[in-house]
Amino acid sequence: MRFLGNVLATIVGIFIFCMIFFFGIIIIGAIAGSGEDTVSVKKNSVIELDLSKVSLDYAGKTNYKDFNYFEAHHDGVTDILNAIEAAKTDDKIKGISILNNQSQLGLAQSKAVRDKLEEFKKSGKFVYAYANYYTQGEYYLNSVADQVYLNPMGEVDFKGLSSEIIYMKDLQEKSGVKMEVIRHGKYKSAVEPFLAQEMSPENREQMTVLLNSVWNTIVADISKSRKLSVAQLNAIANTLGARTPELALANKLVDKVAYEDEYHDMIRAKLKVDKKEKYDIVSITDYAKKASSTVEDYSKNDIIAVIYAQGEIAGGEGDVNVIGEGSIKRSLQEARGDKDVKAIVLRVNSPGGSALTSELIWREIEITKKVKPVVVSMGNYAASGGYYIAANADRIFAEPNTITGSIGVFGMLPNMNQLGKNIGINAEQVKTHENASGYSVFEPIDENFKGFVLESIEKTYATFLKRVADGRKMTTEQVDAIAQGRVWTGVDAHKLGLVDEIGGLDAAIKYAAKLGKTSSYRTENYPEYEKSFEDMLANFTGMAMFKTKEQLLKEQLGEEGFQMLEQIKRVKSRKGIQAIMPYEIVIN
């Protein structure tokens, strides 16, 4: 036995040595390459705006403590915007080509990129777009181009917005699996599908208002770029008037129906490059890496700290996809303790999540405000818990189509009592005190337990109302009248007083600088996430050590299947009372 134990110990030791050696090589290689430019931009170059791998506002900075190794990424939306800004004055860049772009950007992100492209065009440089097929979301972004090209066999999906919600009350009764719902807020429709078999008038009202508000923003921007009236665009949407290339051209949604090679010939002619030669292309992500070292003027001592709170609020350290109190609190503490930081911008892009974590972050902002100004910039979402952590800022900015509000709280517990009876399961309990057993999925919900949960939810909702009322200088009655879990667009939230100004991150930074009494400043991005060797190992699966778990799952499940799995994982991981967005809006 001792011999086998020694052999096993030797094998484990060799394995650990190989792992450390493997990761050491990776890190040494990364460090060696970190100081090199990833791209050399030639004269007469065109940026290709491929956003297929861009989804987050902030790509993140990570400190691997065990290795004393720091890693920064430059493929976030903010990096893309900075790259386009830098390209305006780069003599080597002649224009931007949006070629068959398939992005995962949300509406507010798309608008931010679109607005930055509008600014870029004012430099006199071109923006051209080509696609074999335009989804509605992609057309919104591409329509900013000077010339929009479409493949002769393509189409433009332009039909207006809709949202579908699946109701499961009857399914619960037939299956024997019931969701016990405890909520406050008549509009908290995240739980409505488990309580009814059809949409409530309140939910239909809020969805109609929301979709119309979002659509109005979309067509207003397209109208300006394409020189078509909103009435014309609505008529095209109603009749599917862009379903063929001929209709899209006749209705002026595109400028030319052509093949991709003809599109490239047009760009060659613009650049005065021979048809037989290739013109120089640089991808936007490569250019963003290069621009990251030149965008900021490090001779300026004053700093505006931009802290990114993106993803579901779940607690812990957090990362680029999850808001945790660890990284956000540490960022706020570092920023307020740095004498060079004159003001702070909290960039919120979150549907909400844990009410407890939201409160912890709210408290840290409250402490920070006493030292330095805090301004909030809202992205695609700043709803429920996402609004909770924004409500006490000195100033709140939102994009016109930011989804915000959703001031409400709920609890949801699965119950399989009837299913257990149907298949022959009986759960028996033994306890020392009346409430010792808490909740069992195989027993009908105890009214005492339900009362305690409702009491906690009511308390959380009352606290939520007070946080918003104090931050927005409103009464709790005024907040309650526009709360109840209802969601609003940035435009409507501005009318209601939930946000102060309509504008993007740049506008929020400029306002923060004004509050910080500085006109010569640079920005610095937070958080810097802290990870360990174990965290690094967790990203790898089995022998496929050169691919992350996410990459392997995406290959097997596809993008939509992977996103569904991630959503299930997020639901399973939620603990405690939730202040979270009622649903996810996806526009194709």
| Cα four-point dihedral sign 503, 333, 339, 289 | negative
Q: Which of 55, 358, 384, 406 is catalytic?
A: 384
CA 562/CA 346 separation, integer angstroms: 29
What values do phi and psi take at 92, rounded to 5?
Answer: -75, -20
Cα torsion 9, 10, 16, 17: sign = positive
Which residues fall within 8 angstroms of residue 272, CB to CB, at 6 or more apart? none
Instruction: Report the candidate in 366, 379, 587 with the shortest Cα–Cα distance to residue 499.
Output: 379
Q: Given 116, 188, 329, 531, which residue is catalytic?
A: 188
Taking the CA atoms of residue 133, residue 134, residue 136 and residue 140 in that order, the dihedral angle to the nearest 10 degrees is 180
The helix (H) or strand (E) run that includes residue 150 is strand 147-150
CA dist., res. 141 & res. 204, Å (int): 28
Half-sphere exposure of 174 (CA within 13 A, CB side): 5
Q: What pairing do the DSSP bridges indicate for beta strands 93-99 and 126-131?
A: parallel
358 catalytically annotated: no
Token pair of 8 as six digits: 């096993």
User: Closest Cα partner for 75 from 245, 275, 248, 287?
Assistant: 287
Residues contacting residue 330 through CB under 8 Å, at least 6 positions apart = 527
Structure tokens given for 266: 């047009």
Helix residue ranges per DSSP H, 251-370: 260-271, 284-291, 325-337, 355-369
Active site (annotated) includes residue 384: yes
Which stretches of 324-436 are assigned E, i.e. beta strand? Answer: 341-350, 352-354, 374-383, 395-398, 403-405, 409-415
Instruction: List residues with catalytic annotation.
Output: 188, 384
